[in-house]
Amino acid sequence: MKKALAMLLALMMVLSLAACGGDNPDASKAPEGTTSTAPADESKAPEQPDGDVANKDKPLVWFNRQPSNSSTGELDMTALNFNQDTYYVGFDANQGAELQGQMILDYITANIDTIDRNGDGVIGYVLAIGDIGHNDSIARTRGVRKALDTAIEENGAIKSDAVGINADGSASAVKDGKLTINGKEYTVRELASQEMKNSAGATWDAATAGNTIGTWVSTFGDQIDIVASNNDGMGMAMFNAWSKENKVPTFGYDANADAVAAIADGYGGTISQHADVQAYLTLRVLRNALDGVDIDTGIGTADDKGNVLSDDVFKYVESERSYYALNVAVTADNYNDFMDATKPYAPVANQLDLEKNPTKNVWLNIYNSADNFLSATYQPLLQNYDDLLNLNVEYIGGDGQTEANITNRLSNPDQYDAFAINMVKTDNAASYTALLNQ
């Protein structure tokens, strides 16, 4: 049925092109079926991509990994300006990082009488780093160090390198911090930190973090008073392996459902990066560009269904072509409001009309199908929104290690109307744009 409909549509296209003298070679090709994982709804069989639009001119959104230099963090404006319908969707990494640091500091302040487990006068923490070349990871490492006064600045920026083991406080990437709480001074030390990369090269690796906490505990024992992590995937691995049983507060990032639920069992807290807003924005900017409407439609300006975001949940920075969701701390005080991590955000959960916003085909990849945040939170949200926005999305899951593992599966970009890309490395935008330029 779907095939017959598609062939009919193709035939109509050929006829209408012939009628107006068009000679686009692509238009005569029979459309190929997509391999979408989401079951296609017969009632909204996608139209075939408009053969007149070159792949290089199709809407493109980068998400989760902002095209940038992985050493300096400098934005890759060539990739961000690939065409007039190119954007990035992520979240405000610095605002979130400050919140994470503050959340840990607030916890220490509130529990100062009991936090120092061995009473040696040093509040010791260990830190799991996601990816030393990922701006979100760098920002979070900096945020924790800044709040706990262990940061060292170099050329105007806080150092974000891992220290490895720092038993005596002599590491060059951090210093021993001093916190004054209730008029008394305390020392804080980053006892250890490490990038959690597995032997195959996957970063933000939860299993590596789960193993590493064991090594750290055998070195430091009850010198460890706090466990901090660049994300919940690694944070929960450490919590489950050690800190839960030993009642050591552990802090992550992402507000994944399992982490939020673990707050009831002593997980210290997490940060919501408003994935429900990001997933919406990821698909909404494509929808708007495909419809040829103002890009702010259903974002800062209500669409005809009333979908709209208020400016306390996102911001748009025109010069960076980037939408950033704003973060919220999730702690014992409010975690009940965050239990359902994959529910669409109510102000933008209204279904669009098929007549006005007909079904379009989108190719989208997740850089690592094993990433907790992307697979347990972000993708389920995308799958909810694709229905609401009438987008037929093909989801591709990468291995987290090589760009080729993903780009190999974008062999026929002609089949799609728009693209949403999550790179393995933030430097590698050109591996994708090269395919669209062909």
Which is nearer to ligand BGC, 13 or 129 (by Cβ)?
129
Which chain residues interact with ligand BGC by CB under 6 A?
64-65, 130, 136, 204, 231, 233, 253-254, 371, 373-374
- 3-state DSSP assignment of residue 286: helix
> Which residues are within 8 A (CB) of 70 and not within 5 positions of it... i.e. 6 or more apart?
133, 134, 425, 426, 427
Q: Where do the H-state alpha helices sit in 72-201?
A: 77-80, 93-110, 112-115, 135-147
What CA–CA distance (Å, rounded) separates 15 from 19?
6
Residue 72 Cα to chain centre, angstroms: 20
Q: Are 193 and 163 in contact (CB under 8 A)?
A: yes
DSSP 367: S
**Phi-psi sector, 193: left (phi>0), alpha (psi -120 to 50), beta:** beta
Sign, Cα dihedral of 110, 211, 98, 365: negative
Distance between CA 118 and CA 309 in Å, rounded?
A: 48
232-251 residues labelled b (16+ CB within 10 A) or e (exposed): bbbbbbbbbbbbbeeebbbb
**Quick one: three-class SS letters along 200-264?**
CCCCCCHHHHHHHHHHHHHHHHHHEEEEEECCHHHHHHHHHHHHHHHCCCEECCCCCHHHHHHHH
Secondary structure (3-state) at 272: strand
The span from the CA of 280 to the CA of 276, in Å, is 6
